[in-house]
C-alpha cells in the first residue's frame, strides 16, 4: 500500500510538471484573477489572512477543479448566479421614485384665449387666400341685395353724425331674422314717416303702436318695438344721446348681440374690433371646412384667430352677398361657383337635379278664353326640377292634358285659372 501511494503521488507530480499542465494552470490562474476583479474580491475574513490572494490553488485537485470550471465544496468563489449579469435597474429620483423612460406623447395643438375672447395660435386653412379672392371676384359679377340695401348703406347722408350712427344701429336691430329688402323698407318708413325723421327725439316721442306698425313687416316686430323704445331711453339717460362707442356698451343694450355690436363699431365708429358673424358667414365658412363650429360666436373666435385684421370688416359683406346670390341656404348653385370648378369647396354638389313627383287632389275649374267652363280637374301630377314644373292634368272630358305655361303655378296652388 505504501509503495502504491508513493507511486501515485509521483505520477501526479510528473503530470503537474508537464508543459501541457503548466499551460492549463496558467489559464486557470487568469480565469481566477478575472473573476476576483469582476466581483470585487473575496470575503473580508479571507482578505484578513491573505490566503485567498497570496497564491493560486496549490493542490492538483484545486487546479483540476479550476480548469474544468467546477467548484469544490466549501469554497468561497463566485457562483453561477453571481457571475450572471443582473438587469440594469432604473435610476432613482430624489423622491425615491423610479425614473422610467417614457415614450413622448403627442400633444394636441394648444389654443390660447386672446384678449377679446377669441382663440389665437390657430393655423390658417390651406388655400384660404385663393378661396377669398375667387369669392370676391364672383361677388363683383353679381349684384346682391346687401350691396344696395345693406344696413351699412341705409343711413341718410344729410343727417348729423349722431343721427347716422343711430340709424345704423336701428337698421341692424331690425335686420335680425329679416331679409335686407324688408329691412330697407322698414327703415325708409321710419325715415320718411316720423315727424323729425329717424332720430333719437322721434323714437322717444313715437307711440309703441305706431312704431310697431311702421316696422310691421320685419320679423319679430313686436319684440323689436320694445327693444327700440328701451334703447332710446337708455341712450338718452346713460350715453348722452349717442350710441355707445365700445363693444361692452353696445351689447348692454336690449336686442343687441355680439354680431350687431361688431358691425355697428365698424360701420358707425370706423373701428374693426371683431368680426360680425351672421348665419351666412357661419354657414359658408363651415361649408369651406375652415373650421367646425356650432355657433356664430365660435365661428367668430376661430376666424379672428388667423384672419388678417384688415379683412375683418369686409368678410361679412363678402359672404352675405355670396350667400344671397350663389351659395344659397337652400338650392346652392354649385354649378355656377368658381370654387366648385376649381375644386376648392369640399361641400360642392355636382349631381344632377333631382326630380320630384307630387300628386294633389284639387277641384280647380278650367275655363276657356271665352270664360266658358271646360271641365273639372280630377287629379294633377306635378313633376318639378330646377328647370321648371311640368303638370299633367286628367280632365273629365278631354282626357290627359299637359300644361307647361305660366298657369302651372296657379294649378299647383289650387287657384282658379
Q: Which of 387, 372, 383 is nearest to 411 (CA)?
A: 383
Q: Tell me the backbone φ, ψ of residue 387, rounded to 5 degrees.
A: -95, -15
Kindly report the number of other CB atoms within 10 A of residue 246's CB atom. 13
Q: Determine whether 359 is an active site residue.
A: no
Strands (E), 260-395: 356-360, 365-367, 373-385, 388-395
Write b or e for each residue in 199-209: b if 16 or more Cβ atoms lie within 10 A of its Cβ, otherwise e: bbebbeebeee
Q: Are 271 and 315 in contact (CB under 8 A)?
A: no
Q: Which of 259, 355, 365, 400 is catalytic?
A: 259
- 122 CB contacts (<8 Å, ≥6 apart)? 109, 111, 302, 305, 306
> Cα(281)–Cα(274) distance, rounded to whole angstroms?
13
Q: Dump the DSSP string for 140-169.
A: HHS--HHHHH-GGG-S-TTS-HHHHHHHHH
> Cα(170)–Cα(81) distance, rounded to whole angstroms?
91
60 Rama class: left (phi>0) / alpha (psi -120 to 50) / beta: alpha
DSSP state of 90: P
DSSP state of 335: G
Q: Are 186 and 217 in contact (CB under 8 A)?
A: yes
- 230 CB contacts (<8 Å, ≥6 apart)? 253, 254, 255
Strand partners, 379: 394
Alpha carbon dihedral 372, 377, 381, 386, in 10-degree steps, equals 30
Strands (E), 35-168: 112-113, 119-120
Kindly report the number of other CB atoms within 10 A of residue 147's CB atom. 16
Active site residues: 259
Amino acid at each position: 500500500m505504501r509503495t502504491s501511494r508513493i507511486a501515485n503521488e509521483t505520477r501526479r507530480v510528473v503530470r503537474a510538471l508537464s508543459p501541457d499542465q503548466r499551460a492549463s494552470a496558467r489559464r486557470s490562474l487568469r480565469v481566477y484573477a478575472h473573476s476576483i476583479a469582476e466581483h470585487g474580491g473575496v470575503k473580508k475574513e479571507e482578505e484578513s489572512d491573505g490566503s485567498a490572494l497570496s497564491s493560486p490553488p496549490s493542490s492538483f485537485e484545486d487546479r483540476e477543479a479550476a480548469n474544468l470550471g467546477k467548484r469544490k465544496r466549501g469554497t468561497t468563489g463566485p457562483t453561477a448566479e453571481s457571475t450572471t449579469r443582473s438587469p440594469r435597474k432604473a435610476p432613482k429620483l430624489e423622491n425615491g421614485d423610479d425614473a422610467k423612460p417614457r415614450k413622448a406623447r403627442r400633444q394636441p395643438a394648444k389654443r390660447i384665449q386672446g384678449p377679446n375672447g377669441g382663440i389665437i395660435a390657430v393655423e390658417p386653412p390651406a388655400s384660404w387666400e385663393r378661396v377669398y379672392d375667387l369669392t370676391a371676384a364672383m361677388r363683383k359679377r353679381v349684384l346682391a341685395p346687401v350691396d344696395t340695401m345693406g344696413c351699412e348703406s341705409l343711413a341718410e347722408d344729410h343727417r348729423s353724425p349722431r343721427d347716422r350712427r343711430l340709424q345704423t344701429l336701428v337698421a341692424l336691430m331690425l335686420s335680425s331674422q329679416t331679409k335686407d329688402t324688408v329691412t330697407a323698407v322698414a327703415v325708409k318708413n321710419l325715415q320718411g314717416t316720423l315727424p323729425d325723421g329717424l332720430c333719437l327725439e322721434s323714437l322717444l316721442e313715437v307711440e309703441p303702436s305706431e312704431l310697431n306698425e311702421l316696422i310691421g313687416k320685419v320679423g319679430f316686430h313686436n319684440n323689436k318695438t320694445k327693444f327700440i323704445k328701451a334703447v332710446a331711453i337708455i341712450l338718452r339717460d346713460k350715453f348722452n344721446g349717442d350710441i355707445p362707442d365700445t363693444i361692452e356698451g353696445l351689447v348692454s343694450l336690449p336686442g343687441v348681440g355680439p354680431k350687431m355690436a361688431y358691425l355697428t363699431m365698424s360701420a358707425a365708429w370706423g373701428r374693426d374690433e371683431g368680426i360680425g358673424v351672421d348665419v351666412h358667414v357661419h354657414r359658408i365658412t363651415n361649408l369651406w371646412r375652415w373650421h367646425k363650429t356650432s355657433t356664430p360666436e365660435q365661428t367668430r373666435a376661430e376666424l379672428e384667430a388667423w384672419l388678417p385684421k384688415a379683412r375683418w370688416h369686409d368678410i361679412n359683406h363678402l359672404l352675405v352677398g355670396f350667400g344671397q346670390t350663389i351659395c344659397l341656404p337652400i338650392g346652392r348653385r354649385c354649378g355656377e361657383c368658381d370654387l366648385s370648378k376649381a375644386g376648392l369647396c369640399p361641400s360642392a354638389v355636382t349631381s344632377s337635379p333631382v326630380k320630384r313627383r307630387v300628386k294633389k287632389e284639387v277641384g280647380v275649374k278650367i275655363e276657356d278664353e271665352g270664360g266658358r267652363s271646360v271641365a273639372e280637374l280630377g287629379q294633377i301630377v306635378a313633376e318639378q326640377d330646377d328647370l321648371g314644373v311640368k303638370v299633367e292634368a286628367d280632365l273629365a272630358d278631354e282626357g290627359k292634358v299637359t300644361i307647361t305655361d305660366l298657369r302651372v303655378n296657379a294649378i299647383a296652388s289650387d287657384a282658379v285659372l
